[in-house]
Amino acid sequence: MKAMRKIIRIDEELCTGCGDCVGACQEGAIAIVDGKAKLVKEIYCDGLGACLGHCPTGALTIVEREADPFDERATPAQLATPAPPAHAQHGFGGCPGSALRELKPRPPAAERASGADAPSTLSHWPVQLMLVPPHAPFLRGAELLLCADCVPFALPDFHARYLAGRALLVGCPKLDDLDFYREKLAAIFTTAQPKSVTVLRMEVPCCGGLAHAAVEARDAAGLPLTVDVHTIGIDGRAQRTEHFDRPAS
């Protein structure tokens, strides 16, 4: 029987799907579904609001409404249920392997004398667009590199030519949700205010969705930035570069 009580409310317009609230909820009441935080079941939410301070956009509030009573005995079973893969949730959901880390790229002096081992220029972790929250510190004011996930395999000098000095986001517009990409990128642009945006895509037609998502997100965020799009051939050669300026308002 439902009763008037306090319970979490999630504003989907404000939610970016970052997943911070998932790990903060000790009862397992919240999950990321289709790129948005959702209340799994009313009986899992105790209404205390421990998750509130973990949402960077203020999408979580506590309201008083009719709801199923909190069932403390049900929550252990919920927490014991394996969560869906983080990639499917569109958020890292507390997975230790996806915790935010800032790295220190090795300087050239760290290379072997033979030069066989070039140093990595990766500056942070994670890199998948699905997993990186808009408020990640390494995105703030960064030179942003949005890269199709096939590009580094085709481009032999990817690290030296494109990655050094940039914050990397990786995705595949064919396999992932392109609408989610647009929303996530718009949230990143709005929150992080990057200095520049460079897109690396493959020559295959489906890869063009990544560039379109970046341009549309830039326009939605209202940033006065040029989106530079570099197309890479399957043979590893750079084919062309396009510049997408923001239309004058």
12 occurs within a structural domain: yes
81 occurs within a structural domain: yes
Of the three residues 89, 112, 139, the one that is the final residue of a domain is: 89
58, 14 Cβ separation under 8 angstroms: yes
pLDDT digits over 196-232, tens only?
A: 999 999 999 999 999 999 999 999 999 999 999 999 9
- Both 80 and 118 in one domain: the answer is no
Of the three residues 89, 116, 140, the one that is the final residue of a domain is: 89
**Alpha-carbon span 97 to 204, nearest angstrom:** 31
- Both 61 and 156 in one domain: the answer is no
95 occurs within a structural domain: no
- Both 188 and 117 in one domain: the answer is yes
pLDDT digits over 12-42, tens only?
A: 999 988 888 887 888 888 888 877 889 988 9
pLDDT digits over 91-150, tens only?
A: 444 455 666 677 777 655 444 444 456 788 999 989 999 888 888 889 999 999 999 999
- Both 56 and 105 in one domain: the answer is no
249 occurs within a structural domain: no
- Both 80 and 131 in one domain: the answer is no
CATH code assigned at 27 = 3.30.70.20
How many independent structural domains does the chain possess?
2
Range of the domain at 53: 3-89
- The DSSP bridge partners found for residue 219 are none
234 occurs within a structural domain: yes
pLDDT score, position 87: 45
Residue 247 has pLDDT above 80, yes or no: no
pTM of the model: 0.62
**Alpha-carbon span 59 to 91, nearest angstrom:** 15
Which H, E and C letters describe the chain, residue by residue? CCEEEEEEEECCCCCCCCCHHHHHCCCCCEEEECCEEEECCHHHCCCCCCCHHHCCCCCEEEEEEEECCCCCCCHHHHHHCCCCCHHHHCCCCCCHHHCCEECCCCCHHHCCCCCCCCCCCCCEECCECCCCCCCCHHHCCCEEEEEECCHHHHCCCHHHHHHCCCEEEEECCCCCCHHHHHHHHHHHHHHHCCCEEEEEEECCHHHHHHHHHHHHHHHHHCCCCCEEEEEECCCCCEEEEEEECCCCC
- The DSSP bridge partners found for residue 144 are 167, 197
CATH code assigned at 134 = 3.40.50
- Both 166 and 191 in one domain: the answer is yes
94 occurs within a structural domain: no
Of the three residues 36, 63, 89, the one that is the final residue of a domain is: 89
Residue that has been written with the tokens 């997975």 in this structure? 95
- Both 237 and 199 in one domain: the answer is yes
**Alpha-carbon span 41 to 4, nearest angstrom:** 16
**Alpha-carbon span 129 to 106, nearest angstrom:** 24
166 occurs within a structural domain: yes
184 occurs within a structural domain: yes
- Both 138 and 38 in one domain: the answer is no
